[in-house]
Amino acid sequence: MSQLAYHHPLRVVQLSDCHLFAEESGKLLGLETQFSLDRVLELIRAEQPRIDLILATGDLSQDASQASYERLQRALAGFNTPTYWLEGNHDKPAPMLAALQADRSQVSPCVAEFGAWTFVLLDSTIPGEVPGELYEDDLAFLERALAGARTEHVMICLHHHPVPMGCAWLDTQVVASAGRFFEVIDRHPNVRAVIWGHVHQEFSGERHGVKLFAVPSTCVQFKPGSDDFAVDDTAPGYRWFDLHADGRIETAVSRVEGVEFEVDLSVKGY
């Protein structure tokens, strides 16, 4: 847990759903995921001269290979800033931890404190399954983290979406215990935002004053509002946050421009 003091808004970068393979040439739905990630990282370097924290919110590997995690670790280490990883439904903890040299404090579930903000990272995965769930132990962890937070403001991070996205096929994968999740949040007025990955699309909303945000994938994008599985030709990207000491949040999504990404729009699943 960091206790660094900041004299400026905390600049946080969120990237998600990289779906890397052991081989750099690995493709998801026709797209080389390493190529697209590299373009997003180039964009981040160009746009973000100062980053205080990077949050990688799951499905970082498609095949859960240690080689894929090691490449990601090397790439993110180049930013020379604290980085925290969340497990997604495609990830496996053992090779991920091996790539991070067994630094469990960097991987969900965990708590990190930066300036006026506390970050609570949850593991919403069900082993061997695609949908999300927060079990009683996870909710108890969240309760303790929120009750024990020493800062005024908290951001909760998880992989799966706790609210519907408006995609019928994708909303079958929403966190099954979302009702109890929000019951915990409602007991703690220090929660300012909840962020997630998994949905491969941009989203922003609000519930009882708590901001809700999802981020595009660094590779393939899902088509918003689709009833059945469908991919979109929108470019990959990332989200940045400016988190102020008074609890205000500024955020936007930035996408790669001027690069052609080959995606098979005809595929009906993966």
10-255 in CATH: which number? 3.60.21.10
Taking the domains of the chain in order of start, what are their residue ranges? 10-255
What's the pLDDT score for residue 1?
43
Contacts 24+ apart (CB under 8 A), 175-181: 175/124, 175/131, 175/132, 175/133, 175/134, 176/131, 176/132, 176/133, 177/133, 177/134, 177/135, 177/139, 180/134, 180/139, 181/134, 181/139, 181/142
Measured CA angle at 28 (ends 230, 232), to 5 deg: 30
Tell me the whole-structure pTM to 2 decimals: 0.95
The H or E element that residue 212 is part of is strand 210-214
The H or E element that residue 186 is part of is helix 178-186
For the record, the structure tokens of 215 come out as 């981020």
CA distance 62 to 51: 26
Give mean pLDDT in consecutive 10-residue pieces for the chain, a chain of 270 residues: 68 98 96 98 98 98 97 96 96 92 80 97 96 97 98 98 98 98 98 99 98 98 96 96 98 95 78
